[in-house]
Structure 1
Amino acid sequence: MCSIIMGMAIPMRPTKDVFHNFGKKDGKMRLASPTCGRRPTCSLKLSGTVDQLPSTRRSGNYRPTLWDFDDIQSLNSVYAEEKYSIKACELVVQLKKVLQGESNWVRQLELIHDLQTLGISYHFDHEINQILNSIYLEQKYLETEERDLYSTALAFRLLRQHGLRVSQDVFDCLKNEEGELEAVLGDNTKGVLQLYEASFLLTEGEMSLEQARVFSTNFLQKKLDDDEIMDEHLSWLVRRSLELPLHWSVQRPNARWFIDACANRSDVDPILLELAKLDFNIVQAAYQQELKEVSRWWKESKLAETLPFARDRVVENYLWNVGLLFQPQYGYPRIMTTKLFILITVIDDIFDVYGTLEETQLFNDAILRWDVEAIGHLPKYMQICYMALDNFINEMAYHVLIEQGVLIVQDLRKSWADLCTAYAKEAEWYHTGYTPTLEEYIDVAWISISAHTILSYVFFLISNPIEEEAAHNLRNYHPIIRYSAMVLRLADDLGTSPYELQRGDVPKAVECYMNETGASVEEAREHVKCMLRETWMKTNEESFKECPIFSKDFMRSAADLGRHAQYMYQHGDGHGISNPQMEERIRTLIFQPIPLL
């Protein structure tokens, strides 16, 4: 975190009361409100409040969806044909031989890097595991005859990304007698770029890596500013990495950009590039069919007609799942979690925009009770929303019960109850004009961002078998859940708070910090960015646990949820109001195949 001293943003560790213990009280997990053990009641006394409610409702002024239902239903890619899948399989076999036949460990790492950035590494998981484990066990990255800044940083990043804890001391040989990185390293742009990328896999207390991050950031930015990078491709990579480093980026949504960038490289294996393009189009064809199914569900639900105030964002909600669950085998999970994102968006708009204070308290009470009696007290538009949510929960629970024999309906209901209780608290703050402290805000906001609900669904959809220990940790909000939620929350706040305040909403992290400390907007935003970096350090630490509670796929999905938030909110609100950058990303990722010739 940061402390603002004499008008300057100074990087510091987060204070325990603001960040390290978010969601806790007396060292224990604190939820927004208890949801079990007794019948919850509204915290607001409703009698006598009706006359005080505003006579007109707020509006988010959301523009209509850009993606027409008929256009979505007309999607029909030729790459769904079997002949393209057969061709892709042949290319995978050829590349596996190349990868396994390569004897130079640095070249092996470069191939793995290319496979990842091009979005096709999932075809080579077994081979990549073998290569990285071999390099780590044999400590090839310490061989002095081949070791330099570039290879050391590349190995460090890929091995740590794989969950192998390489010491930060590998960079000590690059420092001078004063313990600082040699300035001459700045002449090696390719190596410094890899050092910059590697530095984002640091954990708490690794000051050498923090030093490397600052050093490499300054050198790369100066080279861009002075137009000193002659290699156009390298210049593109530097500019993109400074915007969002690889470790904070989602693999599949970025693949299109890297495929286009690699098309101009003379040193790229043509088989690699051909597979990347073909695989992208084949997976895109599957995405289009899934999007068509979700779009039909949304239209048949009539929620867009019944709740016209809510954001109609089917495509944007689907896009989240391309980052969260990009592998082709997760078709059904993507469909279900897209429906989940849609319902979260609608209910968020009820609490944030349309609902009166009395109505939001009634809706929250109904969600806490989950009984027919509570539904009768709701206005009609809320009754319809409640029933849509209840049906969706039951559909999901039925699927898991049939497939795995595990009853999860109470888990799903609890996640929604916690979410709506957090929504209700924020609605109360807005309607009463209360500005929370940053600590108060974070205590509620890491729940209201909905990550715990999203990851609950993801866990039950992709875990097979569903282990009770993992499910228990999920219910009790394991740190990986909270860290994912914090990255999502902070990225959202950085991207959306100016618009949401203009519309009328609870102050976000930036504004809470400004109100509490008197900091400027720039200082407060830097403070939130420091919080974001601290959260990633904790997330990185979780990946090194020797006895993980959750599967690797789930751990990756939890981290990818935060990554995708940084992707969605990189240029403002890419979810609610969209922007030209996000519109172009959606077109190229979902609608437009890559020409193969």
Structure 2
Amino acid sequence: MNHILFMQVQTPTPTPTIFSPLSKGPGYGHKIFPRPNMSTATATPETLSSPTVDSRRTANYKPNIWNSEFLESLKRDQMDVQDKYEKIDKETLSFEVKNMMADEDLELMVVFQLIDSIQRLGLGIDFDSDIKRSLRRIACNFGDLKLHLHATALGFRLLRQNGNMVSQDVFKQFMSEEGKFKLSLCNDIDGMISLYEASYVAYEEEHLLEEAKAFTSKHLAHLCLNEHKLIANQVNRTLDLPLRYRMPRLEARHYIEASSTKNDSNTKVVALCELAKLDFNMTQLIYQEDLQDMTRWWKELGLSNKLSFARDRLMECFFWGTGTTPRAELSYCRKALTKVCKFITIIDDIYDVYGHMHELELFTNAVERWDVNVVDDLPYYMKLTFLALYNTVNEIGYEVLKQKGYNCVPFLKKAWEDVLKSFLVEAKWCHYKQTPTFEEYINNGWVSASGVVALTHAFFFVSQDITPEALDCFKNNHDILRLPSMVFRLSNDLATYEDEIERGETANAISCYAKKAGVSLEDSREHISKMIDESWKRLNEIQVDNKTPFSDDFIETALNLARTSQCAYQQGDGHGSPELIKKHILSIFVDPIK
């Protein structure tokens, strides 16, 4: 285990503010993983001192599918990849691409397609300033242009997702006098797909874009039954998860491979695709180095054998860390988030399954006090967990202090304290067989949102300036923290509620809302999906009209956390059943693009 930093932090710990889940104020949240029934056994001296007790419950979690030997073996010929990367004339290509974006005489559709390709190929950061400059110029009179549907919808989406204000009224030209979209638009498949994707950068109360989503969803689903298989596959993928909600690295891989099969006449796009392939493989090498560092860290920590009741999910935790901070240069932040996710997994299993109620109260108090002197009061397995957490969080704080000159440990400690207090509330619900109201469930879920713990740690790495105004937002539950956690929470519940009901769980957003509204579970499920969309609408508005003290980089990090949660839970509980995201993990970390 790494040397423990005996840094005691004495900070006030106000109770988080509670709001209605339907208000714009803080209040939404997330509980990451499924919650098996708590034991009702009474704590005894034996349970407080022994790491293994027969009366402990187990959740029968599925085993780890990534052994350390495999992770340590991930090593390719970096020199070969780098040699091929350096042979591309990036300077000339970059010069030509930038000139195209700056060319005011170039057809707008060509510019839009170029920008869309660059960003979806994963090269957006290389041309970021040029893209923003080009789109700001176009945004000035975009509303006055009369473009065809595909160009209008693609331009609208690109403008909004890159921070430009543009009105939904640009789509009125495609509507009939009755206020409905014209049926003749259904013949334009590319336009319909672009309009569908554009509807997902809507704000609240933008009913025209809601109409666009309903119109395109209905007719694109019909197209899947009647069109060629390739078109049907493209449409199905679009309807399965819109571009706005997809993880950037997974989208880059898909778009690179899809582009490679096309006979594109645009030589610039072909060259960009070749550059993107090598860039993807170079970034994958960096991920592999980070992952091997994490494998060594986890081995040296020694908790895997000592805490055998907890899920061993190092690779999946690295998936979350990478999904939230995918940029190659953010290695330390990515590794810090992996550690955060690893401890969340362990502690969640302690509160859900292994710990007795008396022990959970002791552990919550220990983290609140953040004092190594309380270790003697804890049972053996909690001693290990607390000291490992204490050491790791303080080490992350020390790294931030070196890099940014700011002591962030009080904020990190407060985030952990809030999470564990809310875990304790959930444990008591389960222990005493209490069913919370929907509002109680959602509000406590906000405090238990592990996403907020992740974003608190990430903030100090991805933000260039650590301002008092931004730090106040952490104290006041700002929307940029709350809304991704809402997406996180509800995506999890949609994936796990059937298993939780079968286990006799009392707290889940779907069952709690069904009880509150007197509706079926299926109707409740539909309502929860709409709540995810509503959270995204407010995130869209924050990104475009950024009046927060947060940088664009941190806002993108928050959006990526929401995207990663939707990906991880798209086909079920990707953390509880790791085989569900195995294909995603292989494509990002293991298999290079040929």
Same fold (TM over 0.5): yes
**Relative to structure 1, is the Cα distance of residues 571 and 466 closer, same or farther in structure 2, using a 3 angstrom cutoff?**
same
**How far did residue 80 of structure 1 move?**
5.4
Is contact 1:233–1:265 with CA below 8 Å preserved after alignment? no
| Residues 1:167 and 2:167 are matched in the alignment | yes
Separation in 2 of the partners of 1:520 and 1:199? Answer: 28
Q: Deviations over 1:249-293 (max 9, x none)?
A: 121122212222222211263212211211111100110000000
Larger deviation, residues 583-592 vs 563-572:
583-592
Q: Deviations over 1:42-96 (max 9, x none)?
A: xxxx998769x997322221222111111111111223554244235x3364144
Separation in 1 of the partners of 2:233 and 2:523? Answer: 29
- What pairs with 1:580-595 in structure 2 (closer than 5 Å)? 580=580, 582-595=581-594
Separation in 2 of the partners of 1:568 and 1:211? Answer: 29
Match of 2:204 in 1: 204
| Residues 1:356 and 2:359 are matched in the alignment | no
Equivalent residue of 1:67, what SS? coil
Match of 2:238 in 1: 241
Q: Write the letter of the residue equivalent to 1:207.
A: H
- What pairs with 1:175-574 in structure 2 (closer than 5 Å)? 175-224=175-224, 226-228=225-227, 230=228, 232-267=229-264, 269-503=269-503, 505-574=505-574
Separation in 2 of the partners of 1:128 and 1:360? Answer: 51
Match of 2:14 in 1: none
**How far did residue 99 of structure 1 move?**
4.5
Separation in 1 of the partners of 2:303 and 2:73? Answer: 22
Match of 1:72 in 2: 71
Match of 2:5 in 1: none
Separation in 2 of the partners of 1:502 and 1:298? Answer: 33
Larger deviation, residues 96-105 vs 518-527:
96-105
Equivalent residue of 1:575, what SS? coil
Equivalent residue of 1:326, what SS? coil
**Relative to structure 1, is the Cα distance of residues 475 and 261 closer, same or farther in structure 2, using a 3 angstrom cutoff?**
same
Q: Write the letter of the residue equivalent to 1:19.
A: L
**How far did residue 124 of structure 1 move?**
1.1
**How far did residue 23 of structure 1 move?**
4.3
Separation in 2 of the partners of 1:190 and 1:353? Answer: 50
**How far did residue 503 of structure 1 move?**
4.6
Separation in 2 of the partners of 1:119 and 1:242? Answer: 22
Match of 2:37 in 1: none
Match of 1:38 in 2: none
**How far did residue 22 of structure 1 move?**
6.5
Q: Write the letter of the residue equivalent to 2:399.
A: H
Q: Write the letter of the residue equivalent to 1:71.
A: F
Match of 2:123 in 1: 120
**How far did residue 515 of structure 1 move?**
2.7
Is contact 2:100–2:111 with CA below 8 Å preserved after alignment? no
Q: Which has the higher contact order (CA 8 A, sep 6+)?
A: 2
Match of 1:142 in 2: 144
Q: Write the letter of the residue equivalent to 1:59.
A: T
Q: Deviations over 1:418-470 (max 9, x none)?
A: 00001000000000001111111000112213111110000011122322211
Separation in 1 of the partners of 2:373 and 2:417? Answer: 17
**How far did residue 518 of structure 1 move?**
3.4
**How far did residue 367 of structure 1 move?**
1.1
Separation in 1 of the partners of 2:30 and 2:155? Answer: 40
Is contact 2:250–2:588 with CA below 8 Å preserved after alignment? yes
Separation in 2 of the partners of 1:47 and 1:491? Answer: 32
**Relative to structure 1, is the Cα distance of residues 20 and 471 closer, same or farther in structure 2, using a 3 angstrom cutoff?**
same
Larger deviation, residues 462-471 vs 280-289:
462-471
**How far did residue 476 of structure 1 move?**
2.2
Is contact 1:80–1:285 with CA below 8 Å preserved after alignment? no
Separation in 1 of the partners of 2:191 and 2:144? Answer: 16
Equivalent residue of 2:592, what SS? coil
**How far did residue 98 of structure 1 move?**
3.0
Equivalent residue of 1:572, what SS? coil
**How far did residue 391 of structure 1 move?**
0.3
Is contact 2:20–2:443 with CA below 8 Å preserved after alignment? no
Equivalent residue of 1:20, what SS? coil
The CA RMSD over aligned residues, in Å, is 2.4
Equivalent residue of 2:22, what SS? helix
TM-score by length of 2: 0.89
**How far did residue 174 of structure 1 move?**
0.8
Match of 2:132 in 1: 129
Equivalent residue of 1:19, what SS? coil
Equivalent residue of 1:375, what SS? helix
Equivalent residue of 2:226, what SS? coil
Is contact 2:496–2:573 with CA below 8 Å preserved after alignment? yes
Separation in 2 of the partners of 1:375 and 1:241? Answer: 52
**Relative to structure 1, is the Cα distance of residues 193 and 333 closer, same or farther in structure 2, using a 3 angstrom cutoff?**
same
Q: Deviations over 1:168-200 (max 9, x none)?
A: 110111111111111111111110110000001
Q: Deviations over 1:106-152 (max 9, x none)?
A: 11110111122222212111221121111112x246333xx111111
Separation in 2 of the partners of 1:114 and 1:557? Answer: 21
Q: Write the letter of the residue equivalent to 1:243.
A: D
Is contact 1:106–1:151 with CA below 8 Å preserved after alignment? yes
Is contact 1:197–1:245 with CA below 8 Å preserved after alignment? yes
Match of 2:100 in 1: 101
Equivalent residue of 2:64, what SS? coil
Q: Deviations over 1:516-575 (max 9, x none)?
A: 333222111101001111111111111133533100000000011001100111000112
Q: Write the letter of the residue equivalent to 2:145.
A: E
Gaps (5+ residues) in structure 2? 1-18, 32-39, 48-52
Equivalent residue of 2:58, what SS? coil
1:20 equivalent among 19, 23, 31: 23
Separation in 2 of the partners of 1:80 and 1:389? Answer: 37
Q: Write the letter of the residue equivalent to 1:348.
A: D
Is contact 2:30–2:448 with CA below 8 Å preserved after alignment? no
Separation in 1 of the partners of 2:349 and 2:92? Answer: 48
Q: Write the letter of the residue equivalent to 1:391.
A: N
Q: Write the letter of the residue equivalent to 2:144.
A: L
Q: Deviations over 1:475-514 (max 9, x none)?
A: 3221111011101111111112223444554421011112
Q: Percent of counterpart pairs with the same letter?
A: 36
